[in-house]
A and B are shown apart, each in its own frame.
Chain A
Amino acid sequence: MNKKIILFAAITTLGFMAFTNHSGGVYKTNTGNINFFSHTAVEDITADNHKVKTAFDAETGKLQFSVLIKDFEFPKALMQEHFNENYMESTTYPKSTFTGTIDKMSAVNLAKDGTYKSPITGKLTMKDVTKDVSTIATFVVKGGIVNAKATFTVNPTDYHIAIPKTVAAKISNEIKVSVDADYTHVH
């Protein structure tokens, strides 16, 4: 009888721990940030999007992003207009997506506050062109929120983004993309 009670208590405790430490399941946000930055001797160009949808599966490391191209805000309206109409054709190709994995998910202890790093690999799609992307992400776990930061570079020509010769000197071949998202456990 005592053995049964101990077994029941152990199973209940383990079950409760698994439910409350949030180390598994899906972590998500709809308000992630993506900034891109182009630096040339002629001009710096930057834009921000604060409504990035992203989520990861803490068991498998599966990672997904979806971002609306038109929702990147530039300091100058004319830059934003050219970006959408001339380069990204964002009415025809409204979204950019990333699907990949947090390669060392097991190294990120979501149940313990701290800072962790993991390689990220996956496929970035823009304008119906898909290319491999890899980077290192830093995860900061604090009070149940998982902040992830990562940067990588994108070459516009890889995604069939045609830059006219007249403005080529103003737009870098290496656009720096910075991601900053606060994930919370959803289920």
Chain B
Amino acid sequence: MIRPIIILIVALAIGAAFYGYNTYNKPHTNVGESEAAETLLASEIFVAFDTNEQAAMALYSDKVIQVEGELLSKDLSNDKEPQILLKGNGDEGFVRCGFKPTELSKVLALTDSSTVKIKGICMGCNGSEELDLLGSKDVVLSNCIIIN
């Protein structure tokens, strides 16, 4: 009678350890393998954050979002994270998409002023009207991949 109980306890302990190890080491979201929770235009997501940031945070943040928009420029000033800017709302704001350095060759292949589809994790909207020196506001997507 004691033996099966010991086996059960050991099995449970191994199971708990396995679960704990996997939880502690769970991987980051793989954007390439994730379905987009929302698909929208870059201008639409920018307007959503510009109009009501809290509501947009609740709706889009932490989710894999696919956006389509006009590529304004590439920003390669930080070699740890190549970035591109999509047109958001004129000069008022943009959608800033950050890529892993491994995606650099694909980023370089993009053509300015072309329409691009990007998938990434929405982090929120950086900048504010009170910080006058910073200029435009950016809706930020990270860990992006290029769809086309």
Contacts and interface: CB of A to CB of B under 8 A. Distances in A.
Interface of A: 26, 28-33, 48, 50-51, 53-57, 62, 64, 66-71, 73, 76-78, 80, 84, 90-92, 94-95, 97, 99, 182, 184, 186
B82 to A, nearest CB: 9
B61 interface: yes
A95 to B, nearest CB: 7
Contacts of A51: 81, 83, 96, 98, 126, 138, 140, 142
B121 to A, nearest CB: 8
16 contacts: A28-B134, A28-B135, A31-B83, A32-B78, A50-B78, A50-B81, A56-B133, A64-B132, A67-B126, A68-B123, A70-B62, A76-B25, A92-B54, A94-B53, A97-B128, A99-B131
B23 interface: yes
B144 to A, nearest CB: 12
A30 B132 CA distance: 14
The B interface, classified by DSSP as helix, strand, loop or mixed, is: mixed
Interface of B: 23-29, 53-54, 57-58, 61-62, 75, 77-78, 80-81, 83, 96, 98, 123-128, 131-135, 138, 140, 142
A70 B29 CA distance: 14
A77 B27 contact: yes
Given A76-B25, A91-B58, A97-B128, A48 B80 contact: yes
A57 B125 CA distance: 23
B21 to A, nearest CB: 11
Contacts of A68: 123-126, 140
Contacts of B133: 26, 28, 55-57, 62, 64
Nearest to B134: A53
Contacts of A69: 124
Contact of A95 (B62, B128, B142): B128
A28 to B, nearest CB: 7
Given A31-B75, A51-B83, A73 B27 contact: no
Given A51-B81, A51-B98, A71-B123, A64 B140 contact: no
A50 B58 contact: no
A77 B96 CA distance: 22
Looking at A53, A62, A80, A90, the one whose CB has the most chain B CB atoms below 10 A away is: A53
Contacts of B28: 73, 77, 80
Nearest to B128: A66
Given A55-B134, A78-B24, A94-B61, 16 more contacts: A26-B133, A30-B75, A31-B75, A50-B98, A51-B83, A53-B134, A54-B134, A64-B133, A66-B128, A66-B134, A68-B126, A76-B24, A77-B29, A91-B61, A91-B62, A182-B78
